[in-house]
Amino acid sequence: MNRPDASGHAADAAAVQRLSAVVSGARPPGLYRWLSRAHPAAVRRELATVGWDLHCLDGTRIRDTAGLFDACADSLQFPAYFGNNWDALQDCLSDLSWLPDRGRVLLWDRYGVLAASDPQAWSIARDVFETAAQERVAAGALPLYTLVRGEGPTDVPVL
């Protein structure tokens, strides 16, 4: 049941519950399928209440490697030195030091567009996002979760 929150917006109770697994650390940082249809603005508000940031990727724009690199660079404000290749993407996702020091959720809507149009790029992207999250943990950095949603490969664990 959706109820208005303090700002008068409908809150998705299931989305809040699933986000608690992220912000509490109950699930390790990584790449997950997120079955919620919560609006990104509601997700952003929920994360902001606990000092986290949301970054969104519009999968309709991500049909190939270049589209993924551009979307990530835009959403996460990659520095000018970002090299537009897989190693550079992993390095930037592992670092993020140019952004405020907060936990981060990258919400990738319609991730299946890339998986359908370029399965090899999807496979590499999946590994890069997962590895970057693990590297951040190993470095003691605040967590990065990538949540993918919409139709797409189902071999990604569900949050």
pLDDT at position 84 is: 96
Integer Cα distance of 33 and 101 in angstroms:
25
Give a yes or no: residue 21 inside a domain.
Answer: yes
pLDDT at position 8 is: 38
pLDDT at position 17 is: 66
H or E element, residue 110: none
pLDDT at position 19 is: 86
Residues 129-143: pLDDT tens digits?
Answer: 999 999 999 999 999
Contact 72, 93 (CB under 8 A): yes
Which CATH number characterizes residue 19's domain? Answer: 3.30.370.10
Residue 6, helix vs strand vs coil: coil
Q: Which residues of the chain have pLDDT under 50?
A: 1-11
Closest CA to 60 of 130, 152, 157: 152
Domain that holds residue 125: 11-149
Give a yes or no: residue 158 inside a domain.
Answer: no
Give how far Cα 116 sits from Cα of 31, 32, 45, 59, 101, Å: 18, 18, 31, 11, 34
pLDDT at position 20 is: 86
Give a yes or no: residue 3 inside a domain.
Answer: no
Give a yes or no: residue 1 inside a domain.
Answer: no
Total domain count, the chain: 1
Give a yes or no: residue 37 inside a domain.
Answer: yes
Percent of residues, the chain, with pLDDT higher than 90: 78
Query: Of how many residues is the chain composed?
Result: 159
Give a yes or no: residue 117 inside a domain.
Answer: yes
pLDDT at position 21 is: 86
Sheet strands side by side (includes 104-109): 31-33, 144-149, 104-109, 53-58
Contact 10, 42 (CB under 8 A): yes
pLDDT at position 5 is: 39
Give a yes or no: residue 54 inside a domain.
Answer: yes
